[in-house]
């Protein structure tokens, strides 16, 4: 315990000295301060705190990372890093990639120099992902890729894509899939953003017409990509970063209680509407139980590895909590919760309405909640088919 307290003291001193005022909540978000903060985090290795130091990470264990998150919260400092590089492909390469792949791809992710996107779903292969048809044909030192992906988050700004492709059409569908990396900056890649009901376009259609994936960017063995693709989804559903962060960080923004008192009224310091008060209380209890479960999972995973199929529990229940919260924000406002645009609604009201609409998809993407329940039943509880 003294060692972790020493780490806390050192972290606290470092943050007090090196985190600029403009990088803290309420500090105005000064661009110069934010850039300085970004550079200092990279130099410290805290853009990827738990990754190995040899690739530019911080080398922290889970307990130290929990302390870091808590101390960041104390000084109200944000961490200007994220994306699929840090949360998905980075952890996958660290666990399953070759040394060459780690040396080429991990440091640019740590430094925030590249953006990644995911090429999994196809127009006819969503829930049944293993039926994918995007082909990769061996052409000596590279593969030639032809096909289409859909719901490709962030493809319009991505530099690289990790994709599941079919390399053998003559074997059972799960056995003929490979996992490849390829640059998005090549003539054979076309991206078309999809506009959603929330008004944003985070997802895209991505087309490959004789695109190239180099052989050295094949992750794992040829035709063995299904296993790697599943492992990456476990990072997506419950990476150590999200588990530790979710267990330690208080959510930002207006609270349900505060907004309910504003819109539904207040009596004796409590939300006036009894039914709404009970629903918010239930949500808060469930949310706290969820976060405590995240924390317990982190503490049990002493080797630092992401848990296996049990991560489906976090994806399933987390999205339902997310949807429940956004529904409460909209419902408590009555007609003011219907504002998609217009002068009659505040920016916060519009943002929450659009968040509510966007969150309807949360229980579908990254594997629908129905699929997660099947995984939990089979892989976690061991129930028969």
Which residue numbers are catalytic?
236
Q: What is the DSSP letter of 333?
A: T
Would you give the end-to-end CA distance of the chain in angstroms?
46
CA distances from 370 to 87, 132, 276, 316, 367 (A): 23, 20, 28, 8, 8
Half-sphere exposure of 319 (CA within 13 A, CB side): 23
How many residues are there in the chain? 385
Rounded-to-5 percentages of helix, strand, coil across the chain: 50, 15, 35
| Beta-sheet strands, E only, within 19-159 | 116-119, 135-138, 142-150
- Label the pairing between strands 270-271 and 160-166: unpaired
Cα–Cα dist 345/341, whole Å? 7
Q: Under a CB-based contact definition with an 8 Å cutoff, are residues 213 and 180 in contact?
A: yes
């Amino acid at each position: 315990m003294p060692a972790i307290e020493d780490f806390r003291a050192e972290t606290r001193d470092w943050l007090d000295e090196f985190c600029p005022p403009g990088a803290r909540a309420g500090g105005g978000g000064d661009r110069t301060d934010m850039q300085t903060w970004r550079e200092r985090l990279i130099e410290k290795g805290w853009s990827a705190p738990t990754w190995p130091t040899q690739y530019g990470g911080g080398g922290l264990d889970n307990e130290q990372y929990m302390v870091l998150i808590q101390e960041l919260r104390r000084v109200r400092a944000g961490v200007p890093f994220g994306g699929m590089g840090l949360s998905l492909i980075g952890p996958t390469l660290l666990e399953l990639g070759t040394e060459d792949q780690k040396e080429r791809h991990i440091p640019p992710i740590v430094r925030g120099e590249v953006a990644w996107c995911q090429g999994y779903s196809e127009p006819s292969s969503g829930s049944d992902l293993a039926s994918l048809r995007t082909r990769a044909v061996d052409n000596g030192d590279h593969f030639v890729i032809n096909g289409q992906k859909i719901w490709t988050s962030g493809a319009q700004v991505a530099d690289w894509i990790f994709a599941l492709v079919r390399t053998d059409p003559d074997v059972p569908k799960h056995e003929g899939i490979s996992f490849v990396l390829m640059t998005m900056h090549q003539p054979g890649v076309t991206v078309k953003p999809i506009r959603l009901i929330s008004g944003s376009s985070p997802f895209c259609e991505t087309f490959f017409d004789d695109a190239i994936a180099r052989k050295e960017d094949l992750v794992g063995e040829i035709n063995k990509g299904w296993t790697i693709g599943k492992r990456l989804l476990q990072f997506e559903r419950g990476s150590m970063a999200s588990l530790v962060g979710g267990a330690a960080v208080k959510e930002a923004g207006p609270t349900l209680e505060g907004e309910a008192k504003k819109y539904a009224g207040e009596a004796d310091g409590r939300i006036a509407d009894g039914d709404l008060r009970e629903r918010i209380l239930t949500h808060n209890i469930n949310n706290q139980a969820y976060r405590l479960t995240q924390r317990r999972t982190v503490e049990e995973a002493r080797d630092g590895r992401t848990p296996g199929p049990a991560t489906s529990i976090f994806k399933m229940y987390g999205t339902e909590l997310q949807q429940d919260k956004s529904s409460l924000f909209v419902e408590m406002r009555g007609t003011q919760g219907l504002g998609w645009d217009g002068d009659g609604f505040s920016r916060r009201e519009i943002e929450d309405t659009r968040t509510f609409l966007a969150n309807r998809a949360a229980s579908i993407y990254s594997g629908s909640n129905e699929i997660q329940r099947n995984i939990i039943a089979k892989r976690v509880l061991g129930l028969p088919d």
